[in-house]
Amino acid sequence: AGMAGGFLMEIRRGTQSALLVIRYAAAEPPGAAVELSVSVDGLAVRRGGSCEMAALPAGVRLEPPSCCALRRLRGEGLHLRLRLRSTPPPADLVFTLRESLKPHKKYVFYCQSCGDIVVEGRKFRRVLPLPSENWSDLVEEWCCHPNPFARGTLHPQHDDCFLGDTFFLLNSGNESRVPESSVNSKENSKVICKRCKTMLGETVSSDTMKYYVTEMIIQPSEECFSPTPRSQFVQRMVAQCLLELSSTKSTFRFTVKGDNGKTYILIWLLNSDTLLVESLGSSSSLGVLTLFGDTFMPSSGPAESWNAVKVLYQPCIKCRNKDIADAWENDMGVHPLKFPSETCLELLLILGLSTASLPPSLQCMKSFQV
């Protein structure tokens, strides 16, 4: 049986430690006596004459004698910390796009929102990573003579695919299914899906298209299109971008910018070894949000687990946090991430819902939201 109030466990693989929160059921009196028992592979909560138990996911094993820092917070439940005997192996942190795109293999590119085919049956001779978007600004620091790349451009040929941090570049010279481009713009035109009118990217030149990784699904030609819920897809792609950049460039602070040049979010990557375990419990009147929404969590039943990155963030819309945003803008240690403006707002909503799903005492860290 699931626990009446459910539980949330945040596990750190690196330190083999966990924070456990046993949530209250919505109808539970605040002064009710609660007895908690922790075993190697499960939890048991006794309230009055009832006893409810929950098993942990495979691979998660606790050290019951290590339980410490037990406290009961009004409106939240029981909090305690403990050590673990074992956790499942860490998730593969390699950026999926760079691993999935291989030379000399045919791929189909789909609009993530509606599944319409954007690029059909393309085979690349070269799949190459691009330098950081601000690479040209750093050339003066590397060279003792004028910038030799000042007039150069990195545009792919028809059989090339160039990969950036949040986008990829394709040559569209012979492409028959090129999406629509918006007009009346002095800057790069927006690339729009013909079916659902979602912004997919921008035109960089007359024969070069820039597509954002949050808007496209790429699959081998022999595979069928498999849709993914939008929120889940955006979370996964943004998390992979953060992991890739933090591991290759030791960058942990990011500004999330829209295609309009505005800064929407400041993100500080706190850790990437988190395993989240959550159970909603058996109470239908729990009254709390879940970490990942309805597409991720069952309404009741056994505990589920997910690999996650833990971030601190601050919204920057409507001139909020302008001072710190300006300071980060001029800091070379902060890396910019560019997405369509609509996707930036989606990400801000996803972060807000994730924060709201946590117990109130865990939702903030100094001036940042968690």
Q: Which residue has the higher pLDDT, 249 or 234?
A: 234
* Residue 38 and residue 28 in contact, taking contact as beta carbons nearer than 8 Å: no
pLDDT at 207 over 70: yes
Please, where in the chain does CATH 2.60.40 lie?
Answer: 7-86
Q: Which residue has the tokens 């950081």?
A: 132
Provide the pLDDT for residue 177.
54
Say what the pTM is. 0.86
Alpha-carbon dihedral angle through residues 249, 310, 254, 251, given to the nearest 10 degrees: -20
> How confident is the model over 102-115, as a mean pLDDT?
93
* Residue 18 and residue 12 in contact, taking contact as beta carbons nearer than 8 Å: yes
String of DSSP letters for 32-57: ---EEEE-SSEEEEEETTEEEEEEPP
> How confident is the model over 303-317, as a mean pLDDT?
92
> How confident is the model over 293-309, as a mean pLDDT?
62
Backbone angles phi, psi at 352, to 5 degrees: -65, -40
Provide the pLDDT for residue 94.
53
> How confident is the model over 63-83, as a mean pLDDT?
91
Domain 7-86 of CATH type 1.10.150: no
pLDDT band at 23 (very low <50, low <70, confident <90, very high): confident
> How confident is the model over 147-160, as a mean pLDDT?
78
Short-list 286, 315, 282, 312, CA closest to 300: 282
Amino acid in the structure at residue 15: T
DSSP code at position 302: S
Provide the pLDDT for residue 186.
44
